[in-house]
Structure 1
């Protein structure tokens, strides 16, 4: 099974892209656990609650992986939790950093901030400059990670077509294994 993470700032089409890719490849996708958590617990979260969200995200990812077939699409991962912790609290839980070191994925799709901002009750950063800063943080992490990654941009349809082309291009490569 190929594990593909869709990552990027808020309101960049990650969930929509995951859903579209899962439908295209007839598999399941893992939603962002934080949305469920914040809907239930409110948006006035603490640093400790971000650790709860990170653990919930990983548990959900592992549980749904059992239902996936050849591909498994994951809406955000522990890199998102790292950036979230650092941006809001200027610190990151060691547990999150340890999970980043232990997890292995086959491909990242990095969503650019060129889609229009869509407001909802859970989103925090409508300012384009902040969204661009977050995008750069994710891009820097992916460059350092060593896992193959590609940027997806343009309309939702263009993103889907780019993602499918890139997934197919990576399909014949051996699965990614983390370095030492």
Structure 2
């Protein structure tokens, strides 16, 4: 099964695109657990909260993979990944729990879609850095380059983003 993660700075359309891709391929997708966690507990968080968010994200990924297998689908999508949590922890606390950093190094996706910051910022009480999206985008680019593995940068308006993502997925699948 092809495992595809969507990553990148805040407010770049990861949730929207992951849902659209899942609908396009009639498969499962894992929503971003951080949103659920913070909506239930409030926007303030600690490093232990980020660890719980990471564990929750991994549970969401496992459930989505199981659902895709059950449906007999060849691909599954993940709205965010632990790289987001690693960068978030390092920025907010100056450190990342070792197990999260290890997971990022050791557990690769078959394809990562890195979303550009060329869409308007959408205010949200859970978002923190509207003026640092370019900085974070370059940081994601650098980290993904260091990790290796297939990465496709996705940009433009929604229809273009979907077309680019579908082309990247099908390129990896050999379709």
State the TM bucket, normalised to the shorter chain.
over 0.9
Per the TM alignment, residue 48 of structure 1 is displaced from its structure 2 partner at its CA by: 1.3
What is aligned with 1:140? 142
Q: How does 1:3-152 map to 2 (within 5 A)?
A: 3-68=3-68, 69-127=73-131, 130-152=132-154
Q: Is the 8 A contact 2:30 2:63 kept in 1?
A: no
What stretches of structure 2 of length at least 5 have no aligned partner? none
SS at match of 1:67: helix
SS at match of 1:73: strand
Moved more, 4-13 or 92-101: 92-101
**Runs of 4 or more consecutive aligned structure 1 residues displaced over 3 Å after TM superposition:** none
SS at match of 1:66: helix
TM-score by length of 1: 0.92
SS at match of 1:136: helix
SS at match of 1:123: coil
What stretches of structure 1 of length at least 5 have no aligned partner? 174-180
What is aligned with 2:165? 163
SS at match of 2:67: coil
What is aligned with 1:176? none
